[in-house]
Amino acid sequence: MEKKCPAQNQKAFTLIELLLVLFIISLWIIWATSLNFNSLNDQQKLGIFSNKIVTAFEEIRSNALLGKWIWTSLEVPEKWKIEFAPSWTGTIQTFYNNGFWVLHNNINIETNFKIEEIVCSSIDWSFTWSISGTGIIEIEWKDLTLTWACDDTRYKKIKTTLSLKNNFKKTLEINTVNWLIESVQ
């Protein structure tokens, strides 16, 4: 009887089989990382969109509090306001007033972005009111009075939820007492 060497009973992978397995694993890794990058990209786009809105609010607040004049004239507007509405398309508009409202800046809401809701609330969120139409925040420079879409004087905060393709959401909260603007989510 012939004795078989133990090495002959073992089966090994060929070089081609190993390369094929490595190729399949690398394709899977490339596919998985591209999904994460697309997700991160959409979150960054939503962050950029929310920063545009924050910048518009901060510009209006600063212009009103500093008594900023318009263009080359030294005329200081009596009032400043910002208008925004829940929609998929449209604009966020800022205005100044010296007897009549004049458009100052127009921020286009790009495709797939949406202002989903606008909610007014008390400082402690004990009562809220949802705005169905256009949200308006208006500041009068000479005595720093504030009027806005939330008619009741108990409402001191406004919260707006932004979304991109209904996949990602971000909430901005504006405190009209201290004028802080913060991202809640």
Answer yes or no: is pLDDT of 146 > 60.
no
Are the C-beta atoms of 84 and 115 separated by less than 8 Å? yes
> What's the pTM value of the predicted model, to 2 decimals?
0.66
Q: Residue 76 falls within a domain, yes or no?
A: yes
Mark residue 125 as left, alpha or beta (left: phi above 0; alpha: psi -120 to 50; beta: remaining).
left
Q: Residue 86 falls within a domain, yes or no?
A: yes
- CA separation for the pair 136, 145 (Å, rounded): 14
Q: Residue 14 falls within a domain, yes or no?
A: no
Mean pLDDT of 88-98: 77
Q: Residue 90 falls within a domain, yes or no?
A: yes
How many folded domains does the chain comprise? 1
Residue 71, domain extent: 33-183
Q: Residue 1 falls within a domain, yes or no?
A: no
Q: Residue 91 falls within a domain, yes or no?
A: yes
How many percent of the chain have pLDDT more than 90? 4
Q: Residue 119 falls within a domain, yes or no?
A: yes
